Amino acid sequence: MPTRFEDRTEAGVRLAAALSAFQERPGTVVLGLARGGIPVAAATARALHLPLGAVLVRKLGIPGYEETAYGALAWTSGRIVRLINKPLRERVLQHGVRREWLDGVEDRERSEILRRAALYPGTGLDLAGKAVLLVDDGLATGATMRAAVEAVRAGGAATVVAAAPVGSVDAEASLERVCDAVICLHLPGKFRAVGSFYRHFGQLTDDDAITALRQGPPLPHAAGPEQSPGLRS
């Protein structure tokens, strides 16, 4: 039987046990990937007595095959970072997907990130010189986590750890190349949907995410209000 978690909060508590070396460690913050990673991160941050914030991430799905990502966007500290799987994008274009369709996907997802950036607390933290624990509820392909890693690196993070209750072997291997450490409690040989490893895995709303962030540990000093238009690769 696969490992199952009761819900995202219980998974966050169990994840904190694997991250105990960071408990109350100065200069360390926990950032949840919005939306699903935020309740996990909130429970982890409370258990470790660390500040809590968020990284806004959006998958760039192939039109007609939206669950397959050709890239991802991530926002933190006033920046949007764009991560593209260029070989996959080129194959998609060769098989009849038009470039303007992909541009439309990216425009919609950028708009959604900017909408959330205006609502969610904890997305403008000063990460310079910090150790950042990036937390999600699961790692299927690792695409959004990879984008989050690039975003916090661009924000000046000194150490980046990717952490999740469950993930695929491929996602872990991909992240190990760009992170200082990857912590994943369960790596099933046959990975299914992230939700299949949770007993309760409901869809989260903006209000759910915002409430979890506001109920978390106090935030450190945030970066100034000026926001850059974003970084593009």
pLDDT tens profile 111-129: 999 999 999 999 989 999 9
pTM as predicted: 0.88
Q: Which CATH architecture has domain 8-214?
A: 3-Layer(aba) Sandwich (3.40)
Alpha-carbon distance of 8 to 113, in angstroms, equals 22
208 burial (CB, 10 Å; 0-12 / 13-18 / 19+) is middle
Domain layout of the chain by residue ranges: 8-214
Task: With cut-offs at 50, 70 and 90, classify the pLDDT of residue 135.
Answer: very high
Residue 201 has pLDDT above 80, yes or no: yes
Residue 24 has pLDDT above 80, yes or no: yes
